[in-house]
Structure 1
Protein backbone atom coordinates (compact mmCIF):
# COMPACT_ATOMS: atom_id res chain seq x y z
CA UNK A 1 0.00 0.00 0.00
CA UNK A 2 2.83 2.44 0.82
CA UNK A 3 4.39 1.73 -2.58
CA UNK A 4 1.15 2.46 -4.45
CA UNK A 5 0.57 5.66 -2.48
CA UNK A 6 4.10 6.82 -3.32
CA UNK A 7 3.62 6.00 -7.01
CA UNK A 8 0.30 7.85 -7.15
CA UNK A 9 1.90 10.87 -5.48
CA UNK A 10 4.60 10.92 -8.15
CA UNK A 11 1.98 10.92 -10.89
CA UNK A 12 0.00 13.74 -9.29
CA UNK A 13 3.07 16.02 -9.08
CA UNK A 14 3.83 17.70 -12.44
CA UNK A 15 7.43 16.85 -13.28
CA UNK A 16 9.48 19.22 -15.46
CA UNK A 17 13.01 18.96 -16.69
CA UNK A 18 15.61 21.58 -15.84
CA UNK A 19 15.19 23.10 -19.32
CA UNK A 20 12.23 25.16 -18.14
CA UNK A 21 8.44 25.22 -17.86
CA UNK A 22 7.94 24.59 -21.56
CA UNK A 23 8.51 20.86 -21.14
CA UNK A 24 5.55 18.54 -20.89
CA UNK A 25 4.48 17.40 -17.41
CA UNK A 26 3.40 13.92 -16.39
CA UNK A 27 0.31 12.63 -18.21
CA UNK A 28 -1.31 11.79 -14.86
CA UNK A 29 -1.61 8.07 -15.67
CA UNK A 30 -0.06 5.46 -13.38
CA UNK A 31 2.08 2.91 -15.21
CA UNK A 32 4.78 0.31 -14.50
CA UNK A 33 7.57 2.89 -14.73
CA UNK A 34 5.92 5.04 -12.04
CA UNK A 35 5.70 2.06 -9.67
CA UNK A 36 9.31 1.11 -10.40
CA UNK A 37 10.47 4.68 -9.74
CA UNK A 38 8.52 4.80 -6.48
CA UNK A 39 10.05 1.49 -5.37
CA UNK A 40 13.51 2.82 -6.22
CA UNK A 41 12.96 5.99 -4.16
CA UNK A 42 11.70 3.97 -1.18
CA UNK A 43 14.42 1.32 -1.17
CA UNK A 44 17.47 3.09 -2.55
CA UNK A 45 17.83 0.38 -5.21
CA UNK A 46 18.39 1.80 -8.72
CA UNK A 47 15.30 1.59 -10.95
CA UNK A 48 17.29 -0.47 -13.47
CA UNK A 49 17.55 -3.24 -10.86
CA UNK A 50 13.79 -3.34 -10.31
CA UNK A 51 12.53 -3.67 -13.87
CA UNK A 52 10.62 -6.43 -15.63
CA UNK A 53 13.88 -8.21 -16.61
CA UNK A 54 14.58 -9.13 -12.97
CA UNK A 55 14.10 -12.86 -13.63
CA UNK A 56 16.57 -12.95 -16.52
CA UNK A 57 19.05 -10.91 -14.47
CA UNK A 58 19.02 -13.45 -11.66
CA UNK A 59 19.33 -16.27 -14.19
CA UNK A 60 22.79 -14.91 -15.04
CA UNK A 61 23.75 -14.19 -11.43
CA UNK A 62 26.64 -16.68 -11.32
CA UNK A 63 28.23 -15.25 -14.47
CA UNK A 64 27.82 -11.70 -13.15
CA UNK A 65 29.42 -12.55 -9.80
CA UNK A 66 32.37 -14.26 -11.50
CA UNK A 67 33.15 -11.04 -13.37
CA UNK A 68 34.24 -9.67 -10.02
CA UNK A 69 35.11 -12.76 -7.95
CA UNK A 70 38.04 -14.78 -9.28
CA UNK A 71 37.91 -18.38 -8.19
CA UNK A 72 35.66 -19.36 -5.27
CA UNK A 73 33.40 -21.19 -7.72
CA UNK A 74 31.73 -23.28 -5.03
CA UNK A 75 30.99 -20.29 -2.79
CA UNK A 76 29.59 -18.18 -5.64
CA UNK A 77 27.41 -21.06 -6.84
CA UNK A 78 26.07 -21.80 -3.35
CA UNK A 79 25.24 -18.15 -2.61
CA UNK A 80 23.65 -17.63 -6.03
CA UNK A 81 21.52 -20.75 -5.70
CA UNK A 82 20.25 -19.73 -2.26
CA UNK A 83 19.45 -16.16 -3.32
CA UNK A 84 17.63 -17.26 -6.48
CA UNK A 85 15.60 -19.77 -4.49
CA UNK A 86 14.55 -17.02 -2.09
CA UNK A 87 13.74 -14.63 -4.93
CA UNK A 88 11.19 -17.02 -6.46
CA UNK A 89 9.32 -17.11 -3.16
CA UNK A 90 10.66 -20.35 -1.70
CA UNK A 91 11.56 -18.89 1.69
CA UNK A 92 9.89 -17.81 4.89
CA UNK A 93 8.75 -14.25 4.04
CA UNK A 94 9.68 -13.06 7.53
CA UNK A 95 13.26 -14.31 7.48
CA UNK A 96 16.26 -12.75 5.71
CA UNK A 97 16.74 -13.49 2.02
CA UNK A 98 19.71 -15.62 2.99
CA UNK A 99 22.09 -16.24 5.89
CA UNK A 100 25.66 -17.31 5.14
CA UNK A 101 28.84 -18.14 7.06
CA UNK A 102 31.98 -17.48 5.00
CA UNK A 103 35.01 -19.37 6.32
CA UNK A 104 38.63 -18.96 5.35
CA UNK A 105 41.91 -17.21 6.11
CA UNK A 106 42.38 -13.49 5.62
CA UNK A 107 42.64 -12.37 2.01
CA UNK A 108 40.67 -15.11 0.24
CA UNK A 109 37.80 -12.80 -0.74
CA UNK A 110 35.12 -13.23 1.93
CA UNK A 111 34.38 -9.51 2.21
CA UNK A 112 34.74 -9.00 -1.54
CA UNK A 113 32.06 -11.63 -2.17
CA UNK A 114 29.75 -9.79 0.23
CA UNK A 115 30.36 -6.52 -1.64
CA UNK A 116 29.74 -8.19 -4.99
CA UNK A 117 26.47 -9.57 -3.69
CA UNK A 118 25.38 -6.13 -2.51
CA UNK A 119 26.27 -4.62 -5.89
CA UNK A 120 24.35 -7.28 -7.81
CA UNK A 121 21.23 -7.36 -5.66
CA UNK A 122 20.91 -3.76 -4.50
CA UNK A 123 22.77 -1.76 -7.13
CA UNK A 124 25.85 -0.76 -5.15
CA UNK A 125 28.48 -2.35 -2.95
CA UNK A 126 27.76 0.49 -0.54
CA UNK A 127 24.39 -1.14 0.18
CA UNK A 128 26.09 -2.98 3.03
CA UNK A 129 26.18 -2.60 6.79
CA UNK A 130 29.52 -3.80 8.18
CA UNK A 131 30.04 -4.57 11.86
CA UNK A 132 33.43 -5.63 13.24
CA UNK A 133 32.59 -8.25 15.85
CA UNK A 134 35.91 -7.71 17.63
CA UNK A 135 34.23 -4.55 18.96
CA UNK A 136 31.37 -6.59 20.45
CA UNK A 137 33.25 -8.91 22.80
CA UNK A 138 31.55 -7.67 25.98
CA UNK A 139 28.05 -8.58 27.12
CA UNK A 140 26.91 -4.96 27.24
CA UNK A 141 27.74 -4.64 23.54
CA UNK A 142 24.23 -5.90 22.78
CA UNK A 143 22.91 -2.43 23.59
CA UNK A 144 25.22 -1.01 20.93
CA UNK A 145 23.49 -3.18 18.34
CA UNK A 146 19.89 -2.38 19.24
CA UNK A 147 20.24 0.83 21.25
CA UNK A 148 20.16 1.58 24.96
CA UNK A 149 16.85 1.24 26.84
CA UNK A 150 14.99 4.36 28.06
CA UNK A 151 16.84 6.28 30.76
CA UNK A 152 20.30 5.11 29.74
CA UNK A 153 23.07 7.05 28.03
CA UNK A 154 22.75 6.87 24.25
CA UNK A 155 19.04 6.04 24.26
CA UNK A 156 18.13 8.61 21.63
CA UNK A 157 20.96 7.59 19.32
CA UNK A 158 19.53 4.18 18.49
CA UNK A 159 21.41 0.97 17.77
CA UNK A 160 24.36 0.75 15.39
CA UNK A 161 22.68 -2.17 13.64
CA UNK A 162 18.99 -1.44 13.94
CA UNK A 163 19.24 2.21 12.89
CA UNK A 164 21.13 1.38 9.71
CA UNK A 165 18.74 -1.39 8.70
CA UNK A 166 15.73 0.80 9.49
CA UNK A 167 17.15 3.44 7.15
CA UNK A 168 18.19 0.93 4.46
CA UNK A 169 16.07 -2.23 4.75
CA UNK A 170 17.37 -3.58 1.43
CA UNK A 171 20.98 -4.29 2.26
CA UNK A 172 23.71 -6.82 2.99
CA UNK A 173 24.58 -7.05 6.69
CA UNK A 174 28.15 -8.22 7.25
CA UNK A 175 29.23 -9.48 10.68
CA UNK A 176 33.01 -9.63 10.32
CA UNK A 177 34.98 -12.13 12.44
CA UNK A 178 31.83 -13.36 14.09
CA UNK A 179 33.72 -15.79 16.33
CA UNK A 180 34.96 -12.82 18.38
CA UNK A 181 31.46 -11.71 19.42
CA UNK A 182 30.12 -12.25 22.94
CA UNK A 183 27.61 -15.14 23.25
CA UNK A 184 24.83 -12.63 24.01
CA UNK A 185 25.61 -10.88 20.74
CA UNK A 186 25.45 -14.23 18.95
CA UNK A 187 21.98 -14.69 20.44
CA UNK A 188 20.94 -11.47 18.70
CA UNK A 189 22.27 -12.79 15.40
CA UNK A 190 20.37 -16.03 15.91
CA UNK A 191 17.16 -14.08 16.47
CA UNK A 192 17.70 -12.19 13.23
CA UNK A 193 18.17 -15.41 11.28
CA UNK A 194 15.25 -17.26 12.88
CA UNK A 195 12.68 -14.48 13.28
CA UNK A 196 13.89 -11.88 10.80
CA UNK A 197 13.38 -8.96 13.17
CA UNK A 198 14.75 -7.13 16.19
CA UNK A 199 13.16 -4.75 18.67
CA UNK A 200 15.37 -1.76 19.31
CA UNK A 201 15.90 0.12 22.58
CA UNK A 202 12.95 2.39 21.81
CA UNK A 203 10.57 -0.52 21.30
CA UNK A 204 10.43 -0.28 17.51
CA UNK A 205 10.46 -3.49 15.48
CA UNK A 206 13.06 -3.55 12.71
CA UNK A 207 12.54 -6.07 9.91
CA UNK A 208 15.44 -7.95 8.32
CA UNK A 209 13.24 -9.74 5.78
CA UNK A 210 14.88 -7.96 2.83
CA UNK A 211 18.46 -8.25 4.04
CA UNK A 212 21.18 -10.76 3.29
CA UNK A 213 23.07 -11.83 6.43
CA UNK A 214 26.74 -12.70 6.00
CA UNK A 215 29.08 -13.75 8.79
CA UNK A 216 32.81 -14.18 8.22
CA UNK A 217 35.16 -16.24 10.35
CA UNK A 218 38.71 -17.55 10.43
CA UNK A 219 37.65 -20.72 12.25
CA UNK A 220 39.38 -23.71 10.69
CA UNK A 221 41.44 -21.45 8.45
CA UNK A 222 44.53 -23.58 9.01
CA UNK A 223 42.78 -26.47 7.25
CA UNK A 224 41.53 -24.31 4.38
CA UNK A 225 45.01 -23.31 3.25
CA UNK A 226 45.28 -26.62 1.45
CA UNK A 227 45.11 -26.63 -2.35
CA UNK A 228 42.45 -29.33 -2.58
CA UNK A 229 39.13 -29.19 -0.73
CA UNK A 230 38.55 -32.81 0.29
CA UNK A 231 35.82 -34.33 2.43
CA UNK A 232 38.36 -34.72 5.22
CA UNK A 233 39.17 -31.01 5.14
CA UNK A 234 35.46 -30.18 5.22
CA UNK A 235 34.94 -32.37 8.27
CA UNK A 236 37.87 -30.78 10.10
CA UNK A 237 36.62 -27.26 9.38
CA UNK A 238 33.03 -28.01 10.36
CA UNK A 239 34.31 -29.69 13.50
CA UNK A 240 35.98 -26.43 14.52
CA UNK A 241 32.83 -24.47 13.73
CA UNK A 242 30.62 -26.81 15.76
CA UNK A 243 33.00 -26.62 18.72
CA UNK A 244 32.66 -22.86 18.77
CA UNK A 245 28.95 -22.42 18.08
Structure 2
Protein backbone atom coordinates (compact mmCIF):
# COMPACT_ATOMS: atom_id res chain seq x y z
CA UNK A 1 0.00 0.00 0.00
CA UNK A 2 1.27 3.46 -0.89
CA UNK A 3 0.85 6.46 1.38
CA UNK A 4 0.76 9.95 -0.09
CA UNK A 5 2.42 12.55 2.16
CA UNK A 6 1.84 15.38 -0.31
CA UNK A 7 -0.69 17.21 1.89
CA UNK A 8 0.71 16.23 5.27
CA UNK A 9 2.02 18.45 8.02
CA UNK A 10 4.44 16.77 10.40
CA UNK A 11 5.00 18.45 13.73
CA UNK A 12 8.06 17.51 15.73
CA UNK A 13 8.84 18.73 19.22
CA UNK A 14 12.09 18.77 21.10
CA UNK A 15 13.65 20.06 24.28
CA UNK A 16 16.86 20.84 22.43
CA UNK A 17 17.90 24.34 23.41
CA UNK A 18 15.51 24.52 26.35
CA UNK A 19 18.54 25.21 28.53
CA UNK A 20 19.05 28.49 26.64
CA UNK A 21 15.46 29.48 27.33
CA UNK A 22 15.75 28.54 31.00
CA UNK A 23 18.94 30.57 31.35
CA UNK A 24 17.37 33.59 29.66
CA UNK A 25 14.41 33.44 32.04
CA UNK A 26 16.48 32.88 35.17
CA UNK A 27 18.71 35.85 34.31
CA UNK A 28 15.71 38.15 34.48
CA UNK A 29 13.55 36.17 36.92
CA UNK A 30 10.74 36.54 34.42
CA UNK A 31 8.20 34.33 32.75
CA UNK A 32 8.29 36.54 29.67
CA UNK A 33 11.10 37.57 27.35
CA UNK A 34 11.30 40.85 25.47
CA UNK A 35 11.62 40.62 21.68
CA UNK A 36 15.38 41.26 21.73
CA UNK A 37 15.92 38.59 24.40
CA UNK A 38 13.66 36.21 22.48
CA UNK A 39 15.64 36.75 19.25
CA UNK A 40 18.94 36.13 21.05
CA UNK A 41 17.55 33.02 22.71
CA UNK A 42 16.15 31.80 19.38
CA UNK A 43 19.64 32.11 17.85
CA UNK A 44 21.14 30.00 20.66
CA UNK A 45 18.39 27.38 20.25
CA UNK A 46 19.00 27.21 16.49
CA UNK A 47 22.73 26.71 17.17
CA UNK A 48 21.84 23.85 19.54
CA UNK A 49 19.78 22.25 16.76
CA UNK A 50 22.76 22.47 14.40
CA UNK A 51 24.94 20.74 16.97
CA UNK A 52 22.38 17.98 17.56
CA UNK A 53 21.22 17.29 13.99
CA UNK A 54 23.00 16.91 10.68
CA UNK A 55 22.50 19.66 8.08
CA UNK A 56 20.89 17.14 5.71
CA UNK A 57 18.08 16.60 8.21
CA UNK A 58 17.64 20.27 9.15
CA UNK A 59 17.45 21.27 5.47
CA UNK A 60 14.40 19.03 5.04
CA UNK A 61 12.49 20.97 7.69
CA UNK A 62 10.42 23.84 6.26
CA UNK A 63 10.12 25.87 9.44
CA UNK A 64 11.27 25.85 13.04
CA UNK A 65 9.14 27.55 15.65
CA UNK A 66 10.47 28.42 19.08
CA UNK A 67 7.54 28.92 21.42
CA UNK A 68 7.48 31.87 23.76
CA UNK A 69 7.50 30.83 27.42
CA UNK A 70 4.20 30.84 29.27
CA UNK A 71 3.24 34.15 30.85
CA UNK A 72 1.72 34.48 34.31
CA UNK A 73 -1.67 35.00 32.67
CA UNK A 74 -1.26 31.73 30.73
CA UNK A 75 -0.40 29.91 33.95
CA UNK A 76 -3.47 31.33 35.70
CA UNK A 77 -5.64 30.11 32.81
CA UNK A 78 -4.10 26.64 33.09
CA UNK A 79 -4.80 26.67 36.86
CA UNK A 80 -8.47 27.38 36.09
CA UNK A 81 -8.62 24.56 33.52
CA UNK A 82 -7.04 22.05 35.92
CA UNK A 83 -9.36 23.13 38.75
CA UNK A 84 -12.42 22.64 36.53
CA UNK A 85 -11.50 18.95 36.26
CA UNK A 86 -11.43 18.65 40.05
CA UNK A 87 -14.72 20.57 40.38
CA UNK A 88 -16.39 18.13 37.97
CA UNK A 89 -15.26 15.20 40.12
CA UNK A 90 -16.74 16.88 43.19
CA UNK A 91 -20.05 17.60 41.45
CA UNK A 92 -20.90 13.89 41.76
CA UNK A 93 -21.16 14.48 45.52
CA UNK A 94 -22.78 17.89 44.98
CA UNK A 95 -19.76 19.55 46.57
CA UNK A 96 -19.02 23.07 45.41
CA UNK A 97 -15.33 24.03 45.38
CA UNK A 98 -14.10 27.62 45.15
CA UNK A 99 -10.52 28.83 45.30
CA UNK A 100 -9.70 32.42 46.18
CA UNK A 101 -7.45 34.46 43.92
CA UNK A 102 -4.69 34.13 46.54
CA UNK A 103 -4.99 30.32 46.48
CA UNK A 104 -4.94 30.28 42.67
CA UNK A 105 -1.93 32.60 42.75
CA UNK A 106 -0.05 30.20 45.02
CA UNK A 107 -0.87 27.29 42.69
CA UNK A 108 0.32 29.32 39.70
CA UNK A 109 3.54 30.27 41.49
CA UNK A 110 4.38 26.77 42.78
CA UNK A 111 3.05 24.92 39.73
CA UNK A 112 5.20 26.67 37.15
CA UNK A 113 8.82 25.91 36.37
CA UNK A 114 10.61 27.68 33.50
CA UNK A 115 12.23 24.39 32.50
CA UNK A 116 9.06 22.28 32.56
CA UNK A 117 6.34 24.87 31.96
CA UNK A 118 3.05 24.02 33.65
CA UNK A 119 3.64 20.26 33.76
CA UNK A 120 4.14 20.21 37.57
CA UNK A 121 0.79 21.98 38.09
CA UNK A 122 -1.41 18.90 37.78
CA UNK A 123 0.65 17.01 40.38
CA UNK A 124 0.64 20.05 42.66
CA UNK A 125 -3.16 20.31 42.55
CA UNK A 126 -3.37 16.57 43.24
CA UNK A 127 -0.99 16.74 46.19
CA UNK A 128 -1.90 20.09 47.79
CA UNK A 129 -5.64 20.33 47.06
CA UNK A 130 -7.20 17.04 45.96
CA UNK A 131 -5.40 14.74 48.43
CA UNK A 132 -6.03 17.08 51.39
CA UNK A 133 -9.66 17.46 50.40
CA UNK A 134 -10.06 13.67 50.12
CA UNK A 135 -8.61 13.24 53.61
CA UNK A 136 -10.98 15.85 55.03
CA UNK A 137 -13.94 14.13 53.33
CA UNK A 138 -12.92 10.74 54.72
CA UNK A 139 -12.50 12.21 58.21
CA UNK A 140 -15.99 13.74 58.02
CA UNK A 141 -14.84 17.34 58.16
CA UNK A 142 -16.66 17.93 54.85
CA UNK A 143 -19.74 16.11 53.55
CA UNK A 144 -21.83 15.83 50.41
CA UNK A 145 -23.51 19.09 49.37
CA UNK A 146 -20.96 21.27 51.20
CA UNK A 147 -19.51 24.47 49.75
CA UNK A 148 -15.76 24.49 50.29
CA UNK A 149 -13.54 27.53 49.89
CA UNK A 150 -9.79 27.13 49.60
CA UNK A 151 -7.71 30.14 50.59
CA UNK A 152 -3.99 30.80 50.97
CA UNK A 153 -2.53 31.74 54.33
CA UNK A 154 1.22 32.04 54.93
CA UNK A 155 2.04 29.84 51.94
CA UNK A 156 -0.40 27.10 52.93
CA UNK A 157 -3.85 26.17 51.65
CA UNK A 158 -6.66 26.57 54.17
CA UNK A 159 -10.00 24.82 53.63
CA UNK A 160 -13.27 26.03 55.10
CA UNK A 161 -16.89 25.06 54.70
CA UNK A 162 -19.13 28.00 53.88
CA UNK A 163 -22.38 26.02 54.08
CA UNK A 164 -24.02 26.20 57.48
CA UNK A 165 -25.37 22.89 58.71
CA UNK A 166 -28.38 22.61 60.99
CA UNK A 167 -27.50 21.09 64.34
CA UNK A 168 -28.98 17.63 64.88
CA UNK A 169 -31.55 17.45 67.71
Same fold (TM over 0.5): no
The higher radius of gyration belongs to 2
Range of TM-score over shorter length: 0.3 to 0.5
Give the TM-score of the pair, scaled to structure 1.
0.25
